[in-house]
Chain A
Amino acid sequence: AQSVTQPDIHITVSEGASLELRCNYSYGATPYLFWYVQSPGQGLQLLLKYFSGDTLVQGIKGFEAEFKRSQSSFNLRKPSVHWSDAAEYFCAVGNALGGAQKLVFGQGTRLTINP
């Protein structure tokens, strides 16, 4: 079955520092991969997506992610974080079994920013 693992439950970085959030997936075919961000009490906002092509994808808010098939990874990066980036980040894989094209999410990584 398709699954997503986010190894880090909570990460703390200083404002202005670089960031990398890890995501590993399990999927038999070429995956559709996503990163979403969720602020407290809010819904999910799509940061970026990978369907095919260039393995380095750019998203909103200065985020990027790199698809590495050999490592089954889709890590999220940002060169310099801002205090407003504090939130919960979810990696997801698209699952077409049953036709629903539903998303399977990891358990999330909570990002805290130190001033």
Chain B
Amino acid sequence: DTGVSQNPRHKITKRGQNVTFRCDPISEHNRLYWYRQTLGQGPEFLTYFQNEAQLEKSRLLSDRFSAERPKGSFSTLEIQRTEQGDSAMYLCASSWRGTAYEQYFGPGTRLTVT
């Protein structure tokens, strides 16, 4: 069990550029979550996958955001036309269906939009 991994760990981009983050969950976990954490705040839910199906999206997830989880394994989160307000830590978590609330988090991807 290598835990949840996220890449890249840090990303600096210019406003208007597109960025993509990757999350690799714990291998036997079928649920995958994305959260966003801004400075001085707790994480906020963005979206959730059960296997390859995206089952819920937060209102925080604007049309510029898209997430995928092909084949129910790793997931990607893409932000198009980045804005300075997108600067945050993007956290991925995974869990097993039987203990869905017991979520294990990755180290996060810190995005800075200049």
Minimum CB–CB distance from A66 to chain B (whole Å) comes to 19
Interface pair A94/B101, CB less than 8 Å apart: yes
Number of interface residues of A (CB under 8 A): 26
Minimum CB–CB distance from B5 to chain A (whole Å) comes to 10
Cα distance, A98 to B96, chains bound together (Å):
18
Interface pair B42/A102, CB less than 8 Å apart: no
0/1 string, A16-35, CB within 8 A of B gives 1? 00000000000000001010
Interface pair A42/B42, CB less than 8 Å apart: no
Is the contact region of chain B dominated by helix, strand, or loop, or is it mixed? Answer: strand
- The 8 Å CB contact of A46, one of B41, B42, B104, B110, is B104
Interface pair B45/A100, CB less than 8 Å apart: yes
Interface size, B (range): 20 to 34
Interface pair B105/A43, CB less than 8 Å apart: yes
Cα distance, A46 to B55, chains bound together (Å):
24
Residue B33 CB within 8 A of the other chain:
yes
Report A's interface with B, CB cutoff 8 A.
4, 32, 34, 36, 41-46, 49, 51, 90, 92, 94, 98-108
Residue B48 CB within 8 A of the other chain:
yes
**Which A residues touch B26, using CB under 8 A?**
none
Known A41-B110, A43-B108, A46-B104; judge A105-B55 contact (CB<8 A): no
Interface pair A100/B48, CB less than 8 Å apart: yes
Closest residue on chain B to residue A98 by CB atoms: B56
